[in-house]
Amino acid sequence: MRRLWLIFAQVTTVALAIVFVVSTLKPTWLQKGQGAIAPTIVLGGSGAASGGPAGAALSAAEASSSSRSGYSLAAKRAAPTVVSIVASKAPARDSEMDERWHRFHFGQRGPGGRKDPSGERAQTGLGSGVIVSAQGYLLTNSHVVEGASDIEVLLTDGRQAKATLVGTDPETDIAVLKIELDHLPVIQFGHAETLQVGDVVLAIGNPFNVGQTVTSGIVSALGRDQLGINTFENFIQTDAAINPGNSGGALVDVDGNLVGINTAIYSRSGGSLGIGFAIPISTAAQVMESLMREGQVARGWIGVQTRELTPEFIEAFKVPVKEGVLISGVLANAPAAKAGVKPGDVITQIGSTAVHTPAQLLLAVSAVPPKTATTVTLLRGEKELAIELTVAQRPKPKQ
């Protein structure tokens, strides 16, 4: 009996050893004669399962998408809607000496310009734009197309078209173009008013004419003004790289929605130093609607020159208020002059809106529709006055 037990133990040990070696080196041998078990893939959030090769392929694609870091989805959504703009201007009439200099160095073709039969230089400008409507409307910067006699738009799918200028608003640096093409990609508008400092944004455009480029950064600041770039300023500041050629391009959020139109950079070298500015889409959309509807932006104007109400002025003239806007000049025949506003007055309120700075006064007056009556509250010495006047249309700025 003992002998039989020893034989059984040895056979069992040898069999287990063989199974272990086979399962390690040739595991497929053990699966012969058995149906292979199909992998089960659980779709996120559905609770459903699918098996077989199709399910496995879907799982692999989803796993790859979820594991990939970055903002590729936002770029894929927004990039096809961003176009390159080539704006050609009429040849400039140079002096004879200047013309000889250009012909000596560049022949009959100006630097970066097109050949002109007269031998003069046809100037070209490069910029970017964003398709915002399936009907072919585009947003870009006013300075990109300023003075252009011919505007050409190049899409990322290789198509190109001549663009017509719907209107420009130099005071916000916004222009609206229109092209006649079918099946246009259209960007979705985001909410610039919900942006916060630190939010990730992407800048998309055609810098230095190298081709469409996507750069990333964060919102560095909001409400930037008094930069001397435009008359009406409320910029989004970002450190996403913006370079020459990016003007008029898109600033998008992490979902690929348009939150701003790239317009300017602070630079000592001509390249990006990490300080770029974009016009909020809320402002750009309002300007676009006015340009499409009326061909211009209707803004109020009363015709005054203003200064900050400084502590020194308050002390010297014993002004009884500490907040307001000092009127330093009144234009003849302007609404303010006709209503009796005088230099030295301190305006504290336009309608129901309190104003503390010249920028606030400018915005408050411009928000009043032209040919509309409003009340201007001001101090003249120690006396408070409420003056009724009719706001006029703001004159177009000189080029």
Element (H, E) at 25: helix 2-25
How far is it, in rounded angstroms, from Cα 19 to Cα 133?
Answer: 69
Classify each residue of 229-263 as buried b or exposed e, where b means 16 or more C-beta atoms within 10 Å of its C-beta: bbbbbbbbbbbbbbbbbbbbbbbbbeebbbbbbbb
Catalytic residues: 143, 173, 247
Residue 81 Cα distances to 39, 98, 153, angstroms: 41, 41, 12
What token pair was written down for 396?
Answer: 């177009």
Exposed/middle/buried for residue 99 (C-beta within 10 Å: 0-12, 13-18, 19+): middle
Strand ranges for 24-94 from DSSP E: 40-42, 49-51, 82-89
Q: What are phi and psi of 115, to 5 degrees?
A: -70, 135
For residue 172, give every residue at least 6 positions away whose Cβ sits within 8 Å of its Cβ, in sequence order, or none. Answer: 142, 230, 231, 232, 279, 283, 284, 287, 297
Contact 230, 272 (CB under 8 A): no
Do the Cβ atoms of 203 and 191 come closer than 8 Å? no
